[in-house]
Structure 1
Amino acid sequence: IARFFIIFPEHRTSVWILDLATVVAAIGAAATAIALNAEGWWPVLTTLLRAAFSIALVGGIVLHIVRWWQAARDARARRQIEWAALGLLVGLVPWATVVWLPRQLGIEVDPFSWMMVLPMVALPFALVAATMEYRLWDLEPIARDALSATLVLVIGGFAFAVTNHLLVNYAGGFGSLRNLFAFATGVLLVMLLQPIRTQVGHFLEHWLYHGRRPPRWLLTHATRELAQVTEPRELLSRLTSTLRDGLDFDVVATYLRVGDGAFSRVGSPEGYLPEHIPASVLSHHFPSSEEEALAAAGYTLRLTLDRVDTVHGLLYLGLRRGLFPLGSEAREVVEAFTAQAAVALESARYLDDLRQQAEEYRILHANTQRIIESSAAAILVCDASGRILSANTEAAGIFEVNAPELVSVSLDSLVVLPQEWRDNLPLQAANAEGRTKDPLHRRVIMAVSVLELDSGSFNGRVVVLQDVTELRELQDRIRDQERMAALGRLASGLAHEINTPLTGISSFAQMLGEMTPPEDPRASLVSKLVDQSFRVSRIVANLREAIRGGGEEMTILDLASVARNAALEAARSLGAADRLEIEKSGPVMALGVTGPVELAVSNMVRNAIEASDPGMAIRISTACGEVWAEVRVDDSGPGVAEKDLERVFEPFFSTKTDRGGTGMGLAITRDMISNLGGEVSLENLAHGGARATVRLRRWKESEASS
């Protein structure tokens, strides 16, 4: 034993003096047993051997304490010494406590003395384990279990020995009650041993881990804390601090898998550690060439945080307290802990991915809304039936409501849709014409595209409307102007062709009038023939000037007089002069040209006569205001349909196509008056019939003076 303590754990130490002394002592002891009459030396020899053993034991313990203190930076030697000390403690303390100490106190424990020899088996096992370095780094859990069992055995054995001594010496008169009391005491001790062992284990665990949490704490408490972290980098930071503080690791590094498959370091930058580690290190043992910097910094172990063949992160660990590697129990705990941490990390990464996707969706949705809102077209999101789900500002402007008010409204109630769109909107459509159902009757072009509202279900539609009212009106005006230009060329040619015979007719009529005496009954007919030929000539000239845009300078005219004459001529030509009711009024002075005004009033009167039933009156009136002078022609007909009030002024639109109407009269009338700076309008009267109004700018005497 002394020799072992001297050479352990340094196997090269020379102890020949001690070996020689041991041999001499062994020979001397053997000689006393062989030599005759040597029994008298036995007590002396026994005393010497006990003294030598005690001196060697105490010296070995002191020597090991000194060597343990000197091996502060040699973790392996220090742990071997601790293993040997554990064997001594477990092997000798029970015997010293239960056998030697009671004997010194005069207490006989012969029935239990043989049991105290059994723990001494731990002494050679511990010495062999220390020498062979067997489970060298598992000292803490083994020491906890061995010492707790030893202390429980010591406490139980000593208590039972003392109790038995008291019962034998002082309770002899109780008879069988003494045996019953001894049995009850034994049962009570057995019941108390397990809780005592648990409490002793907690105490030893607290002492062995220097007041820090044991490895099992990671599985019961730290795992629960990590499960509450939802951000991957924060989770790895918590893992680092937990391992560093809970298991006394001097260095801990964590790496998180990033998008390209590599691993990025988590934590504050440290120049001696790589910031990124490629995924190729997983196919090599630690340390690979990319991990040499980690090995040089004191890292000794790499653990993967993986789930279902997917590695989410890497964990690098150094030594515990800068000296000790992981023992088997601590490694199992750390591996189980990292497995739980991998689950938490996977959940955190998925949650982080969902959070990022939600943020990307929010940004995408916000940008989409901005794009939709900034669009010059009206955009509606509808379901397949046409129920509006959302609308942009332009759409609200077309329908003249706030955008939220359009939600849940049917598109069919807002726009005149094609017949095939009434039940369900098409999946795809473009350039479909429609009109709004509001009083403005805006003309729109519609395009439809399919939209996936629910996963796998294309039950939505995006409807884009473009207000083309002004564009269509411009196109109509251009088309009308082209028609008018063609008509003007035709009218100019016809006027030239008509003027040639008309000039002859007019000349011959004048000659015939000169040749016919006034008292001749045919003189009045000849006079009418001359007047009508002149009238036809004026109509052709006015029509040509109106179509060409006119070039005459506006003059001051009495609108009442011009209107009265034009109305009478138009009524006479249709044989309806007796149906005119001309309101008497004073002069109504306006700025204009007589020919176009006469032609406009004539067209209005003709239309009124044709629209009214035979015998019904046609009322002609004039009025003036601050700015305008007006001629009003009221008929007694059925009026004009509301939808046609504006269209009647379009070229080639006529409500009298069955009676030879060409649709040019009111169009020419409006253009002629517009060229004079005036207006022509048509409205229905409350009591029936329609009113056509020719409006010119009023002339005031102050204008002449100015």
Structure 2
Amino acid sequence: MKNGFQTRILAIALALATLAACVLAGVNLQHENHFDVPTDGISWIEAPGGLRAQRVPAESPGYRAGIRTGDILVAINDRPTNRLAPLVREMFRSGIWSHATYSIQRPVPNSIDLKGSARLDIQVILVPQDRSSNQWLRFIALVYLAIGIYVLFRRWTAPKSTHFYVFCLVSFVLYSFKYTTEFDTFDQVIYWCNIIAEALQPALFVHFAVSFSDVFASNRPNKLKRRLLSTIIYTPAVCLIALQYSAIQFWSATEMLRHRLDQIAVAYLAIYYVIAAIVFRFRYQRAESGLERQQLKWLTRGTLLTITPFTLLYVIPYLYFSGTSVPSLLTKIAGLSLIFLPLTFSWAIVRYRLMDVDLIFKRGVTYTLATASLVGLYFVVVAVTAEMVRARLPSLHVWGLLAAIIFTGILFEPLKKAIQGRVDRLFDQKRFDYRETLVEFGRGLNSQTDLRALLDSIVERLPQTLLVTRVAVFLATEPNRSPGNPNFELAASHGLTNLQADDLQTLDVRFLDFDRPGANSHIFLETPQQVLRLPEAQRSSARNLDLNYYLPCRVANREGSGTRTVAIIGLGRTDDGDFLSSEDMELLESLAGYIGIAIQNAQLYQRLEQKIGEFERLKEFHENIVESINVGVFAVDLEDRIESWNTQMESMYSKSRKEVLRQPVSAVFPADFVARFNSVREEQGTHTLYKFRLALPDGNVRTANIAIAPLVTRDFIAVGRIILVDDITDRIQLEAQLTQSEKLSSIGLLAAGVAHEVNTPLAVISSYTQMLTKHMRGDERLAPVLEKITQQTFRASEIVNGLLNFSRTSGAEFTSIDLNELLRDTLTLLDHQFKTAQIRTETNLDPQLARIHGNQGKLQQVILNLMLNAKDAMFGMSNATLKIATFNSSGSVFVRIQDSGGGIEREHLHRIYDPFFTTKTRPQEGEHKGTGLGLAVSYGIIQEHAGKIHVESERGVGTAFQLEFPASGSRSAISAETYTNGRRDAERKTIHV
């Protein structure tokens, strides 16, 4: 708070002081323009007897009147002039352009007194005093003030900038305040301000030189030493002011006293300037910081450039030739040198760039050589032209000279460029070659498309070209970031060996905001270790990076006008600890544009590669989906030529992709499909051909749902049609089986009603049969028959109960069963019927047949039903044969029952397991009428045993039923207790051949 208050007070004080100085200078100039001072042009000095003419310039009024050097002025207008003051009063009393009578005593030559001198009365016309030198000094004052204000506003926080501004303001007062000799109150203020400024300016300059390097010193002098040193520096200034005051108040006002005081002031000024130059030189030799060395190099050269001509051309003549005044031309040249001091000092404070001094020197040499060459060429051309005109074309002498002037003017620019190139190569051949290499590098940047290689090339070339020790490239991480919140990350670097991985993660470079309105073309940090205007995190990052220059790489916005920053290049000092020149910065700023475009192109190329990779992966993913989907997919163009053909179509249609691509639809598919395909050509939307029977090239016919949809682009422009072929043949078979299962479930309703009705007569038959058996136990002929009737009665009861249990999906006792034994028992049971029907049986039973897990009664019911169906199918045929075989295969047990009957009609194959479906509606003699429940019940029993039933039938050849059961102990065996309806429905499958 205290520092902020002091800063505001200082700013207000400087502003008021500047305003007051400018107002007083303006009023002083106005008074001077309206107040003419009469003069005779002669320098008078007190001497015995009057005033002696010390210097009488030629063409002055006194010289034209006849006054010469050494004459003694005794009186003017009959008023004695023993001092200069009476002379001045009489001249003002006479006024300008008036005649004043000068009483002159002209000493005899080689005489040391006025004895024998002649007295002359000379009429002198007084003229206005020439004060043009005051205007020249005022121009110098304006330069000082303008430079001071520029430095103050541009580098307010720079070290010693305020001190430098005070020095410039005091210099402005010194060179612009000129009293008019009217010596009124205002003139006295101007006079004393000039006296004070004359005393303070050299002291301020020496103080600036002594304290300039305190900001770099590790052990700064304490306050007591600084105050003591300041007291010593400003003591002569106070003494000089006191001397001037004493001379006016207490001493006799003579011209000799005024001249001596002026000599003291000039000597004081020169001595202090020399002391400042010595201090700058001494500090420069002992400076350790690169920044300090550069600044002191500027200050030393600027001081020497100012003090040398000023001392040689003005101070020494004024001090050692006190009897004569310094010629006006030398005064102007010495005053001109004063301009170099604020120029070089301001440049040192604002820029701090070492190489700009060399650059100015080189350009000065260039223009000097170019000008000298031009002048020489001009005079040569003029001389040659004059000779030619004089000798041959005397009438064109004026036009010839004009042509020579125009010709030499045209030659100046290429001559300057040629000399500039030679001087550049002469002074800095190595850096010149490097810059040419850098320019070529910038031109070839756009040929690099790999971002990493591009960044590595940048951080490799820049140190080689500019000889800097540290280079970093920051890339923008958010393309759409808002101004004021930049987000950059370090992408490549050279020489940043002090940064660890943790430091890179914590870098905060938000101060690199070049997209905000009014942002500069680059950022320069003279001391990255002490950037006080930044927050602590950003200050720490700037300190760790230790980079002095940050240049934005800008490119045009993709949308709208303006530019955006895609990267930032950071650079440090050179190998010698120096800073870059403005020429280097101009080159880098131009190169940054090429680098920005190259980085943008590399990023775009990188994103394009990523997009291509993503597109390829997406395309492959979509192709995998199309290829993996269990639906045939193919597309046709507007000319109905096939453009795509997936794997499912290859498998289903038995044609490879190579065979069908670019072929018309009519050449690949059958005519009925082509007709239906063309019929929906002009209709909009998607069309589906339900359960279309598609003939395949191999002769098979498959049932499919075919969807035909338009193939359009993102702009909804039709480019063809896409066809999806969903083969539902197997699904239809499963649906048929599901329907069959649903039909079987209706048996439960029937079984519940007939179970009691059937069991009652069976119970009666069984009871009477058992009674007859007891009575006829001794009858060997009838007793076996009655026993078989009893067994079949129980068997019939079991069948009815089994039908009821099957319909209820109830459990039953499952045991280990030998199918071979079961088949033999069944054949024994039907042996009489087969012999009566003249049917021959052939058996091929595998002796190693595995046992199965099941219910013996239910399985015997299935086998008995199949054998009876076979008997009925072969009734009345010659050579009727029933073949029964068993075998093992892949953990399963198979039973095959094949007859040589008439076979089953093909259209009936899918209905043979339907309840109550039968073809025995009109049985022949010896046959019985079918109920349509045999195969339906058998199908349910097989499903309950986790088995499968397959049928093969050909009209006129015969029918074969094949039963498949899981062997005992295999993973596919399922117990009755764990068997569910869902599992049964899922595994139910019938194969029709």
Separation (CA, whole Å) in 2 of partners of 1:677 and 1:233 = 66
Equivalent position of 1:498 in the other structure: 761
Residue 292 (structure 1) shift: 2.5
Equivalent position of 2:5 in the other structure: none
Matches within 5 A, 1:56-205: 70=285, 74-79=293-298, 128-129=339-340, 131-133=342-344, 138-139=356-357, 143-155=361-373, 157-158=375-376, 175-176=391-392, 195-205=414-424
The change in CA–CA distance for 1:80 and 1:165 in structure 2 (over 3 A counts) is farther
SS at match of 1:74: helix
Q: Percent identity?
A: 13
TM-score (norm 1): 0.53
Does 676-685 or 230-239 show the bigger shift? 676-685
1:665 aligns with 2:930: no
Aligned amino acid, residue 621 of structure 1 = T
- Partner deviation per Cα, 1:552-575 (whole Å, 9 max, x = no partner): 994685999976853687xxxxxx
- Partner deviation per Cα, 1:230-265 (whole Å, 9 max, x = no partner): 355554444444443333445433322335963222
1:313 aligns with 2:567: yes
Aligned amino acid, residue 650 of structure 1 = Y
Separation (CA, whole Å) in 2 of partners of 1:562 and 1:319 = 114
Equivalent position of 2:880 in the other structure: 620
The change in CA–CA distance for 1:636 and 1:649 in structure 2 (over 3 A counts) is closer
Equivalent position of 1:279 in the other structure: 510
Equivalent position of 2:22 in the other structure: none
The change in CA–CA distance for 1:178 and 1:242 in structure 2 (over 3 A counts) is farther
Separation (CA, whole Å) in 2 of partners of 1:237 and 1:126 = 49
> Does structure 1 retain, via aligned residues, the 8 Å contact 2:385–2:404?
no
> Does structure 2 retain, via aligned residues, the 8 Å contact 1:546–1:596?
no
Aligned amino acid, residue 495 of structure 1 = V
> Does structure 1 retain, via aligned residues, the 8 Å contact 2:896–2:961?
yes
Residue 540 (structure 1) shift: 4.0
Separation (CA, whole Å) in 2 of partners of 1:590 and 1:493 = 41
Equivalent position of 1:689 in the other structure: 956
Matches within 5 A, 1:202-213: 202-213=421-432
Equivalent position of 2:539 in the other structure: 292
Choose the corresponding residue for 1:258, options 473, 477, 488: 477
Aligned amino acid, residue 539 of structure 2 = E
SS at match of 2:431: coil
Aligned amino acid, residue 600 of structure 2 = E
Matches within 5 A, 1:576-591: 582=838
Unpaired runs of 5+ residues, structure 2, are 1-51, 59-67, 72-273, 308-331, 526-530, 558-562, 774-785, 806-811, 848-855, 888-893, 923-928, 965-993
SS at match of 1:279: coil
Separation (CA, whole Å) in 1 of partners of 2:622 and 2:799 = 57
1:341 aligns with 2:577: no
- Partner deviation per Cα, 1:445-473 (whole Å, 9 max, x = no partner): x999x999965779999999999899879
Does 186-195 or 321-330 show the bigger shift? 186-195
Separation (CA, whole Å) in 1 of partners of 2:373 and 2:843 = 140
The change in CA–CA distance for 1:346 and 1:80 in structure 2 (over 3 A counts) is same
Separation (CA, whole Å) in 2 of partners of 1:255 and 1:201 = 35
Higher relative CO (CA 8 A, sep ≥ 6), structure 1 or 2?
Answer: 1
Equivalent position of 2:915 in the other structure: 652
Separation (CA, whole Å) in 1 of partners of 2:395 and 2:577 = 55
TM-score (norm 2): 0.41
Size of the aligned set, in residue pairs, is 554
Residue 475 (structure 1) shift: 6.4
Equivalent position of 1:603 in the other structure: 869
Matches within 5 A, 1:185-584: 195-213=414-432, 217=436, 220-232=439-451, 234-258=453-477, 262-266=487-491, 267=493, 270-271=498-499, 275-279=506-510, 282=513, 287=531, 288-289=534-535, 290-293=537-540, 296=543, 299-307=547-555, 308=557, 310-319=564-573, 325=579, 328-359=582-613, 378=629, 492-499=755-762, 540=796, 543-544=799-800, 547=803, 554=821, 557=824, 565-566=832-833, 582=838
> Does structure 2 retain, via aligned residues, the 8 Å contact 1:378–1:464?
no
Separation (CA, whole Å) in 2 of partners of 1:425 and 1:562 = 68
Separation (CA, whole Å) in 2 of partners of 1:588 and 1:300 = 102
Aligned amino acid, residue 339 of structure 2 = V
Separation (CA, whole Å) in 1 of partners of 2:652 and 2:622 = 22
Separation (CA, whole Å) in 2 of partners of 1:596 and 1:131 = 123
- Partner deviation per Cα, 1:308-330 (whole Å, 9 max, x = no partner): 36443333344466666555554
> Does structure 2 retain, via aligned residues, the 8 Å contact 1:83–1:130?
yes
The change in CA–CA distance for 1:695 and 1:224 in structure 2 (over 3 A counts) is closer
> Does structure 2 retain, via aligned residues, the 8 Å contact 1:381–1:460?
no
SS at match of 1:276: coil
Separation (CA, whole Å) in 2 of partners of 1:558 and 1:332 = 112
Separation (CA, whole Å) in 2 of partners of 1:567 and 1:695 = 21
Separation (CA, whole Å) in 2 of partners of 1:624 and 1:87 = 131
Separation (CA, whole Å) in 2 of partners of 1:440 and 1:487 = 40
SS at match of 2:567: strand
> Does structure 2 retain, via aligned residues, the 8 Å contact 1:558–1:590?
no
> Does structure 2 retain, via aligned residues, the 8 Å contact 1:300–1:316?
yes
Equivalent position of 1:54 in the other structure: none
Aligned amino acid, residue 756 of structure 2 = G
Separation (CA, whole Å) in 2 of partners of 1:85 and 1:425 = 94
- Partner deviation per Cα, 1:24-46 (whole Å, 9 max, x = no partner): xxx99958985489xxxxxxxxx
Residue 352 (structure 1) shift: 3.2
Unpaired runs of 5+ residues, structure 1, are 1-26, 38-59, 89-120, 511-529, 570-579, 610-615, 698-706
Residue 496 (structure 1) shift: 0.9
- Partner deviation per Cα, 1:242-299 (whole Å, 9 max, x = no partner): 4433334454333223359632223255339765225366379874224424655754
Aligned amino acid, residue 305 of structure 1 = C
Residue 413 (structure 1) shift: 8.8
Separation (CA, whole Å) in 2 of partners of 1:676 and 1:313 = 77
Matches within 5 A, 1:637-648: 639-641=904-906, 644-645=908-909, 647-648=910-911
Equivalent position of 2:21 in the other structure: none
Separation (CA, whole Å) in 2 of partners of 1:407 and 1:670 = 44
> Does structure 1 retain, via aligned residues, the 8 Å contact 2:305–2:340?
no
Aligned amino acid, residue 200 of structure 1 = I
> Does structure 2 retain, via aligned residues, the 8 Å contact 1:622–1:630?
no
The change in CA–CA distance for 1:379 and 1:179 in structure 2 (over 3 A counts) is farther
Separation (CA, whole Å) in 2 of partners of 1:665 and 1:474 = 17
Equivalent position of 2:144 in the other structure: none
Separation (CA, whole Å) in 2 of partners of 1:383 and 1:678 = 39
The change in CA–CA distance for 1:585 and 1:155 in structure 2 (over 3 A counts) is closer
Residue 640 (structure 1) shift: 1.8
Aligned amino acid, residue 348 of structure 1 = A
